[in-house]
């Protein structure tokens, strides 16, 4: 006797979004699927992409990261080359954290210059992250948008600043990462607000806020899953690729504290922590993950099949 | 009456077209038809043609085609439609002239800038999208009174508008010492014809920021009409050409204000004297609102101070709270009756009063707005409480005519006055109700006679409002409102807020939901059509079911609004009190969040109970509700209503007080409140039943719950 397997079909499809590359580079296209991740059914034209964060400004790195990326501290251009080259990142997340007043307070024009240099140093697709200070970012995004010689994504637009970030992106042809604090309704509302401004939907990624393993990852898992299910069920405002930034994994004491001898080698613990967080995100449906440790790129890329 | 005006537009259009023809022909003779034609530094060729037609313009020959098309738009007959189309033709021809004049770059002597390049457009456009540049003012012509014109432009600069100038007014303002240039967002374009560069700037804004493509003329006009909040101030006499250009602006939905006695066209062409009145009319016609970034008051102001209490010893002055007459009232009014930002204080103010003073107080906030509704008055009025508490050194308790306000000695020492209080209300009501409020005026009086006279008036308004609230019943309305704010932590929870059942947090009633939807149409409060009534007693509506199903993403497939036993509403976690069934007593108990007792007759204290109720799931027999729901006529309709309540904490009984007795009397059980047990009577089911039997509680005679 044969039993027909109940294969769920979805009416919706996730919008495909392309992160453009510079001359000679490979653009990253994600989305386009009409099924849940890691399942055999449905169409998955684009595998998830794994990228790396390129930090700026002074860094206080936990042991595992100090060893891997410490030598590149203060040289985002060299680090960008390394990430996109040897380390195999398909895209870069250039974080202008150095412009934050509490993290050295590099000037806005300095931040914009870093963007320009990184973009000319590598053709890899780039997402530029603000510094997180509301007042500085309000000046930073327009400056970055103007300075970037080729299309990038600006991260991130939230409820408060979305008009400014979207305006800056529209002015120079960039995309935006729309951010919401683990809140499906807010994620939806953000996309409706952007649509209301006339922002092209195929230039928007959803960042649902990613908690690290043990520090809120389960909330992220659930929200990514629900965003994806809503999108596949036909909610166009949520049928967008999802980006998970794994940086929070490095805030866990388990990932960084060398004093706990019984927990094993801290040099291995950190990357493991980030990988595990990333694997959960991929299983939940993330289309882009941003990691900090080079070893995570390879491990997660290996897992990023559909 | 408008015919001469329309005829003038047609004549003007023909004149501009003829000029464009000859100028183009001259250029073609000189350079050949294939010579390139373009503005410097733009990706949009001749922007007006790019935005409104599907003609591509790269050469002088191509420009000829634009003029051919423009000619077809100039028709005979002095009608409004013909005049507006002639206006569009004028803009097309003027843009050709503009481009021709830029053959060797900016043709005008400084300070005039001519064509504004894309790079500037991109930079400034961000702030138009962002709203920090709230609109665009185009000032053209020759001012009769240069000082008045200068005053106007300075006002625009202060508000942060983008300003374009064309005509003699450029030199006049320069002479008046008005600051010109990109830093001041004020662009002196050149002589009158250069006004076309304001037009092609606006068109390019639509192309760059509005997602509008080449030749989408209708979309472009609608973008200019609704998104670019621009108006034109035309100073001095208007000749045919000026009128034709003005018609073009009107075609795009812009408002033109003239200081001449022109025949008005509502919304499009207005006659106003240059100066304040013109500024106000232009801003109003285009719905430009000025955002107050920082409220200019001498004390700190923000949510951080909301919880601050001001003790008696620190109080410099107080109003109300039983010590004096005090009341507050929000009234909506027609827009012409409210002057925005008018703050009037009548009677003694804070300065100079001895510490410990008590004064009477009447606060009237008058608001106007196209989407304001009388029903929202109470929503705005309740916000006064929070706004006053936002001040560092100001405290607000209660509402309406029981209001109680204290101002600290420190705040008065910093120079805080009642007009600052007015400013707080003004700024915050604008900010919080941006979508429904266009104008806010505050008047505050501390003169006893006025306060007393106003009290009667205010009470009449409260009474009118209450009467209206009584007519707002679940049966009378066709839509309820949802609230999904709590989905951030209870993913599938949906509150359905009806006139007779408020949100379970107690903070959102039906009117709040309604206002919330107007304020943020994409937000957590959405209208929910009741649809067909499936069961009026249980509160089952097919529209509600469909909404809950969709918004709980299929996890809650149906919900009865008035039942605790059968498909009750889900609970998120922020309920004011929990209802729980006590099977032994055939009734329900109610325990409020503040109750700290370890035990209730169901065997759990509040926090244990709360833990088992929340999370957005339906738990028959348990339900979180807002306290006021107990007073509703629809309270547990399916289970017999208030008569089911067998136990209630003391605190809740006190809180609901006389209203609870009233409601008990209304259902013919005046003794019910005393029959309901509390924690001093029973904390176990056995003791509870014993008590209920003794007092003859009606729940014992109701049909069995289980
Ligand atoms: S509890 Fe209050 S805030 Fe939460 S969803 Fe219900 S009405 Fe909205």
Angle between helices A76-84 and A108-121 (to 10 degrees): 30
A211 near B CB under 8 A: no
Beta partners for residue B444, in sequence order:
B345, B363
Confidence tier at B607 by pLDDT (50, 70, 90)? confident
* CB–CB contacts below 8 A, A to B: 70
Distance between Cα B590 and ligand 1 center (Å): 19
A244 shares its domain with A303:
yes
CATH assignment of the domain containing A161: 3.20.20.20
**A170, A181, A186: residue with CB nearest B208:** A170
Q: Which CATH number fits domain B118-285: 1.20.990.10, 3.40.50.2030, 3.40.50.300, 3.90.1010.10?
A: 3.40.50.2030
A104, burial (CB in 10 Å: exposed 0-12, middle 13-18, buried 19+): middle
Burial of A35 (0-12, 13-18, 19+ CB in 10 A): buried
* Helix, strand, coil percentages, rounded to 5, for chain B: 45, 15, 40
φ/ψ bin of B524: left (φ > 0), alpha (ψ from -120 to 50), beta (otherwise): alpha
Nearest Cα of chain B lies from the Cα of A143 at a distance, in angstroms, of: 9
Please indicate, yes or no, if residue A37 is contained in any of the structural domains.
no
Ligand 1 closest atom vs CA B497: 7
Binary contact (A170, B132; C-beta < 8 A): no
Report the C-alpha gap between A113 and B14 in whole angstroms: 51
Chain B residues within 8 A of A192 when measuring between CB atoms: 522
Using an 8 Å Cβ cutoff, are B165 and B189 in contact? yes
SS3 A93: strand
Interchain CB distance below 8 Å, B523 and A189: yes
Residue B647 in contact with residue B589, Cβ under 8 Å?
yes
In this structure, chain B runs to a length of 706
> From the alpha carbon of B524, which atom of ligand 1 is closest?
8
Whether the predicted pLDDT of A7 surpasses 70: yes
Rounded Cα gap, residues B384 and A34, in angstroms: 49
Structure confidence at residue B435 (pLDDT): 83
pLDDT at B15 over 70: yes
Spatial contact of A19 and A91, defined as CB atoms under 8 Å apart: yes
Residues in chain A: 306
The packing angle between helices B196-209 and B118-130, to 10°, is: 70
Distance from the Cα of B538 to chain A's closest Cα (Å) equals 29
Question: B479-701, which class in CATH?
Answer: alpha beta
Q: Residue A141 Cα, ligand 1 centroid: separation in angstroms?
A: 35
The better pLDDT of the pair A230, B481 is held by B481
Task: Tell me the two tokens of residue B518.
Answer: 């107007």
| Smallest CA separation from ligand 1 atom 2, residue | B505
CATH of domain B3-101: 1.10.8.190
| Alpha carbons B513 and B480: distance in angstroms, whole number | 8
Nearest CA in chain A to B210: A198
Closest Cα of chain B to A112: distance in Å?
Answer: 15
pLDDT on residue B120: 93
* Chain A residues with CB-CB distance to B122 below 8 A: 146, 171-172
3-state secondary structure B656-688: HHHHHHHHHHHCCCCCHHHHCECCCCCCCHHHH
CA distances from B215 to A248, B54, B209, B218, B267 (A): 48, 4, 16, 9, 27
Beta-carbon separation of A170 and B487 below 8 A:
no
- Count H helices and E strands in chain B, helices first: 21, 23
pLDDT for res B1:
64
Q: Are A252 and A286 contained in the same domain? A: yes
How confident is the model over B335-376, as pLDDT tens digits?
A: 889 988 899 999 999 988 899 999 999 999 999 988 899 989
A282 shares a domain with A247: yes
Residue A41: per-residue pLDDT? 87
Q: Does residue A27 carry a pLDDT above 90?
A: yes
Among B52, B75, B65, which residue's Cα sits nearest to residue B21?
B65
The answer to whether A133 contacts chain B (CB < 8 Å) is no
Other Cβ atoms closer than 10 A to B322 = 9
Distance between CA B610 and CA B624 in Å, rounded?
8
Q: Rounded to an integer, what distance in angstroms lies between the CA atom of residue B93 and that of residue B17?
A: 6
> Parallel, antiparallel, or unpaired: how do β-strands B361-368 and B326-332 relate?
parallel
Tokens 């827009």 correspond to what residue? B335
Give how many domains chain A has, as a whole number.
2
Burial A250-263 (b: 16+ CB within 10 A, else e): bebebbbeeeeeee
Instruction: For residue A229, give the chain B residue with the closest CA.
Output: B553
Is residue A28 situated within a structural domain?
A: no
Confidence of residue B445 (pLDDT cuts 50, 70, 90): very high
User: Are A165 and A54 in the same domain?
Assistant: yes
Express each pLDDT in B81-129 by its tens digit: 999 999 999 999 999 999 999 999 999 999 999 999 999 999 999 998 8
DSSP string, B477-521: -SEEEEE-GGGGTSTT--EEEBTTB--TTSS--HHHHHHHHHH-T
Distance B184 CA to ligand 1 centre (A): 45
Which residues does chain A have within 8 Å of residue B129's beta carbon, measured at their own beta carbons? Answer: 163-164, 166-167, 170, 197
Find out whether B298 and B420 touch, Cβ atoms under 8 Å.
yes
Helices within A54-182 (DSSP H only) = 63-69, 76-84, 108-121, 134-147, 162-172
Over pLDDT 90: what percentage of chain B?
72
Cβ–Cβ contact A226 with B under 8 A: yes
Identify whether the C-beta of residue A76 lies closer than 8 Å to the C-beta of residue A112. Answer: no
Does the pLDDT of residue B292 top 80, yes or no? no
The answer to the question of residue A18 being in a domain is no
* Residue linked to tokens 């003699």: B168
Report whether B195 contacts B235 (CB < 8 A). no
In-domain check, residue A6: no
pLDDT in the model for residue A183: 85
Asked if residue B593 has pLDDT above 90, the reply is no
CATH architecture designation of domain B303-470? 2-Layer Sandwich (3.30)
At a CB cut-off of 8 Å and minimum separation 6, what does B397 contact?
B321, B385, B403, B404, B405
Per-residue model confidence as pLDDT tens digits over A132-155: 999 999 999 999 999 999 999 999
Return the DSSP state at B575: -
Measured distance CA(B675)–CA(B672) in Å, rounded? 5
Looking at every residue in chain B, the average pLDDT score rounds to 92
* DSSP secondary structure of B577-637: EEEEEEGGGTEEEEEETT---S--TTS--HHHHHHHH-SSB--TTEEEE-GGGGGSTTTTG
Share of residues in chain A with pLDDT > 90 (%): 74
Task: Return the structure tokens found at B128.
Answer: 């138009």
Give residue-wise pLDDT tens across range B375-433. 899 889 989 998 999 999 999 988 899 899 999 999 999 999 999 999 999 999 998 88
From B483, B442, B499, select the one nearest B628 (Cα to Cα).
B499
Neighbours of A296 (CB within 10 A): 29
In angstroms, the CA B95 to CA B97 distance is 5
Q: Tell which of A185, A188, A200 to mutate to test the B interface (max B CBs under 10 Å).
A: A185
CB contact (8 A) between residue B122 and residue A171? yes
**Which pLDDT score, from 0 to 100, does residue A306 have?**
59
Task: Name beta bridge partners: B442.
Answer: B343, B365
User: Does residue A161 share a domain with residue A222?
Assistant: no
Interface test with A, best of B117, B120, B122 (most A CBs within 10 A): B122
pLDDT at residue B633 tops 90: yes
Question: For the packed helices B510-519 and B377-390, what is the interaxial angle rounded to 10 degrees?
Answer: 80
Flag whether A1 is in a domain: no
Spatial distance between the Cα atoms of B364 and A157, rounded to a whole number of angstroms: 39
A194 domain residue, yes or no: no
Distance CA B212, CA B215 (A): 9
From the list B125, B128, B553, the residue facing A226 with the nearest CB is B553
pLDDT attached to residue B293: 67
Interatomic CA distance for residues A224 and B230, integer angstroms = 42
Q: What is the pLDDT of residue A8?
A: 76
Is A146 inside any structural domain? yes
Backbone angles phi, psi at B529, to 5 degrees: -70, 130
Are residues A130 and A210 both part of a single domain? no
**Domain boundaries in chain B?**
3-101, 118-285, 303-470, 479-701
Q: Note the Cα B178 to chain centre separation in Å.
A: 34
CA B556 to centroid of ligand 1, rounded, Å? 17
Contact B211 A199 (CB under 8 A): yes
Do A54 and A172 have their domain in common?
yes
Look at residue A18 and tell me whether its pLDDT is greater than 80: yes
Contact B577, B682 (CB under 8 A): no
Ligand 1 pocket (Cβ < 6 Å) reads B 483, 485-486, 495, 503-505, 507-508, 572, 574
**Structural domain of residue A285, as residue ranges?**
205-306
Task: Give per-residue burial for B151-167: e unless 16+ CB within 10 Å, then b.
Answer: bbbbbbbebbbbbbbbb
Give the list of residues 6+ apart from residue A131 with CB closer than 8 angstroms, or none.
A95, A96, A97, A98, A99, A100, A103, A111, A137, A140
Quick: pLDDT tens for B293-340: 678 899 999 887 888 889 999 999 999 988 999 999 999 999 889 988
Output the pLDDT for position B257: 95
Query: Is B64 a residue whose pLDDT tops 70?
Result: yes
Give pLDDT, residue B522: 81
**Between chains, do B553 and A146 touch, taking CB under 8 Å as contact?**
no
Residue nearest to atom 7 of ligand 1 (CA): B503
Beta-carbon contacts of residue B41 (< 8 Å; ≥ 6 apart):
B117, B118, B119
In a domain, A143, yes or no: yes
Looking up tokens 């006279």 gives: B453
Supply φ then ψ for residue B144, to 5 degrees: -75, -35
Q: What percent of chain A has pLDDT over 70?
A: 100
> What does the pLDDT average to over B273-288?
89
CA of B553 to the centre of ligand 1 (A): 18
Distance from CA of A218 to the nearest CA of B (A): 12
A166 touches chain B (CB under 8 A): yes
> Cβ atoms within 10 A of the Cβ of A238, count?
23
Pairwise CA distance, residues B184 & B598, whole Å: 66
For B316, phi then psi, to 5°, come to -90, -40
Burial call B434-448: b when 16+ CB within 10 Å, e when fewer: ebbbbbbbbbbbbee
Element (H, E) at B242: helix B240-251
Per-residue pLDDT at B585 exceeds 70: yes
What tokens does B317 get?
Answer: 């002055």
What order of strands is seen across the sheet that includes strand B255-258? B186-190, B162-166, B136-141, B230-235, B255-258, B269-271
Cα–Cα distances (Å) from B635 to B231, B267, B268, B368, in that order, read: 54, 50, 53, 36
Please name the residue whose Cα sits nearest to atom 8 of ligand 1: B483
Beta-carbon separation of A171 and B127 below 8 A: no
Judged by DSSP in three states, B541 sits in strand
Q: What angle do CA B203, B160, A139 make, to 5 degrees?
A: 85
User: What pLDDT does B554 receive?
Assistant: 82
């Amino acid at each position: 006797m044969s039993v027909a397997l109940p294969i769920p079909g979805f009416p919706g499809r996730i919008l495909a979004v392309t992160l453009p590359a510079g001359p000679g580079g490979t653009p990253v296209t994600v989305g386009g699927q009409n099924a849940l991740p890691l399942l055999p059914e449905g169409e998955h034209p684009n595998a998830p992409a794994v990228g790396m964060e390129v930090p700026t400004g002074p860094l206080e790195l936990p042991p595992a990261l100090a060893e891997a990326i410490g030598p590149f501290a203060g040289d985002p251009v060299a680090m960008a080359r390394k990430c996109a080259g040897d380390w195999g990142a398909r895209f870069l997340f250039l974080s202008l954290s150095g412009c934050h007043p509490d993290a050295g307070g590099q000037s806005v024009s300095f931040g914009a210059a870093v963007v320009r240099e990184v973009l000319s140093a590598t053709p890899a697709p780039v997402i530029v992250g603000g510094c997180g200070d509301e007042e500085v970012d309000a000046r930073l995004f327009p400056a970055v948008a103007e300075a970037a010689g080729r299309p990038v994504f600006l991260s991130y637009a939230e409820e408060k600043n979305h008009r400014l970030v979207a305006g800056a992106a529209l002015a120079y042809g960039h995309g935006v990462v729309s951010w919401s604090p683990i809140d499906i309704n807010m994620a939806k509302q953000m996309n409706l607000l952007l649509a209301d401004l006339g922002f092209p939907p195929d230039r928007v990624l959803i960042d649902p806020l990613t908690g690290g393993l043990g520090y809120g990852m389960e909330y992220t898992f659930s929200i990514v899953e629900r965003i994806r299910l809503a999108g596949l069920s036909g909610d166009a405002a949520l049928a967008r690729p999802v980006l998970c930034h794994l940086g929070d994994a490095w805030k866990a004491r388990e990932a960084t504290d060398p004093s706990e001898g019984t927990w094993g080698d801290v040099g291995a613990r950190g990357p493991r922590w980030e990988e595990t967080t990333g694997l959960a995100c991929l299983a939940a449906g993330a289309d882009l993950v941003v990691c900090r440790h080079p070893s995570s790129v390879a491990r997660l890329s290996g897992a990023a099949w559909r | 009456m408008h015919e001469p005006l329309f005829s003038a537009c047609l004549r003007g259009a023909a004149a501009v077209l003829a000029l464009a023809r000859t100028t183009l022909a001259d250029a073609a003779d000189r350079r050949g038809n294939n010579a390139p034609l373009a503005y410097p530094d733009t990706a949009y060729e001749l922007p007006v043609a790019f935005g409104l037609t599907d003609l591509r313009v790269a050469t002088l020959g191509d420009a000829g085609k634009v003029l051919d098309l423009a000619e077809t738009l100039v028709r005979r007959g002095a009608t409004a439609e013909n005049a507006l189309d002639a206006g569009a033709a004028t803009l097309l021809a003027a843009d050709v002239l503009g481009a021709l004049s830029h053959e060797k770059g900016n043709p005008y002597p400084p300070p005039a800038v001519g064509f504004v390049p894309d790079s500037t457009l991109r930079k400034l456009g961000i702030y138009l999208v962002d709203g920090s540049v709230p609109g665009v003012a185009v000032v053209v012509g020759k001012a009769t009174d240069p000082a008045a014109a200068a005053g106007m432009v300075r006002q625009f600069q202060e508000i942060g508008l983008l300003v374009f100038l064309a005509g003699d007014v450029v030199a006049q303002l320069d002479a008046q010492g008005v600051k010109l240039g990109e830093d001041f967002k004020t662009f002196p374009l050149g002589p009158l014809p250069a006004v076309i560069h304001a037009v092609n700037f606006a068109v390019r804004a639509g192309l760059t920021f509005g997602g509008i493509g080449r030749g989408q003329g209708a979309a472009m006009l609608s973008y200019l009409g609704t998104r670019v909040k621009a108006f034109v101030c035309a100073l001095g006499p208007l000749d045919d050409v000026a009128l034709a250009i003005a018609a073009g602006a009107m075609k795009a939905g812009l408002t033109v204000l003239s200081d001449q006695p022109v025949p008005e066209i509502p919304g499009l062409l207005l006659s106003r004297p240059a100066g304040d009145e013109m500024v106000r009319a232009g801003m109003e016609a285009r719905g430009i609102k000025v955002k107050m970034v920082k409220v200019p008051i001498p004390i700190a102001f923000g949510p951080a101070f909301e919880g601050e209490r001001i003790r008696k010893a620190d109080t410099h002055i107080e109003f109300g709270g039983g010590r004096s007459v005090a009341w507050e009232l929000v009234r909506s009014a027609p827009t012409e009756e409210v002057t925005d930002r008018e703050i009037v204080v009548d009677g003694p103010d804070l300065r100079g009063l001895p510490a410990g003073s008590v004064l009477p107080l009447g606060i009237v906030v008058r608001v106007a707005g196209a989407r304001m509704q009388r029903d929202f008055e109470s929503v705005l009025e309740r916000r006064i409480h929070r706004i006053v508490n936002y001040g560092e050194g100001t405290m607000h308790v209660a509402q309406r005519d029981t209001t109680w306000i204290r101002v600290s000695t420190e705040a008065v020492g910093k120079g805080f006055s009642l007009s600052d209080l007015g400013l707080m209300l003004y700024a915050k009501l604008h900010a919080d109700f941006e979508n429904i409020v266009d104008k806010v005026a505050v008047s505050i009086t501390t003169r006893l006679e006025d306060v007393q006279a106003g009290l009667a008036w205010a009470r009449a308004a409260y009474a009118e409002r209450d009467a209206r609230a009584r007519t707002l019943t679940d049966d009378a309305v066709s839509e309820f409102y949802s609230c999904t704010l709590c989905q951030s932590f209870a993913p599938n929870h949906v509150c359905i807020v009806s006139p007779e059942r408020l949100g379970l947090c107690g903070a959102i009633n039906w009117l709040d939901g309604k206002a919330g939807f107007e304020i943020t149409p994409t937000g957590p409060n959405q209208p929910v059509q009741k649809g067909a009534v499936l069961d009026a007693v249980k509160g089952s509506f097919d529209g509600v079911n469909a909404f809950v199903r969709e918004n709980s993403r299929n996890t809650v497939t149906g919900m009865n609004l008035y039942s605790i036993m059968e498909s009750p509403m889900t609970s998120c976690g922020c309920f004011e009190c929990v209802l729980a069934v006590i099977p032994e007593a055939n009734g329900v108990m109610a325990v409020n969040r503040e109750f700290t007792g370890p035990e209730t007759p169901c065997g759990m204290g509040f926090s244990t109970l709360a833990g088992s109720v929340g999370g957005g799931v339906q738990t028959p027999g348990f339900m979180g509700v807002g306290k006021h729901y107990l007073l509703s006529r629809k309270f547990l309709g399916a289970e017999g209503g208030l008569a089911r309540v067998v136990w209630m904490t003391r605190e809740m009984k006190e809180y609901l007080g006389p209203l609870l007795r009233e409601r008990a009397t209304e259902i013919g059980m005046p003794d019910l409140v005393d029959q309901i047990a509390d924690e001093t009577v029973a904390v176990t089911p056995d003791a509870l039943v014993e008590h209920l039997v003794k007092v003859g509680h009606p729940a014992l005679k109701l049909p069995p719950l289980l």
